[in-house]
Amino acid sequence: MGVSLDDRPLSESRRWLIQTMTEDRPYGFRAEGGTIQSLGAPPFGVREIQVTLEPKGQPFRRAVILDLNAYPR
């Protein structure tokens, strides 16, 4: 999902925030046949994902990748 950071429509914006989501589950969580077998416990495992952005028109000049806490990686 993308949102404009400069109050312009995305098609005209010069600053975007692109957000992606993934799954997280407690360690030891198990489900079989639609029934939860074990709720698990902390820590949570987060599925790593890869994202490719291909903007139309102007290419990106700069991108800052943030971690789970919104700090630059």
pLDDT tens profile 10-66: 888 888 888 888 888 999 999 999 999 999 999 998 888 888 887 777 777 888 888
pLDDT of 63: 85
pLDDT of 13: 86
What is the C-alpha separation between 48 and 73, in angstroms, rounded? 15
**pTM of the entire predicted model:** 0.53
pLDDT of 16: 86
What is the C-alpha separation between 62 and 26, in angstroms, rounded? 35
pLDDT of 46: 86
Tokens for 4, please give them: 């404009």
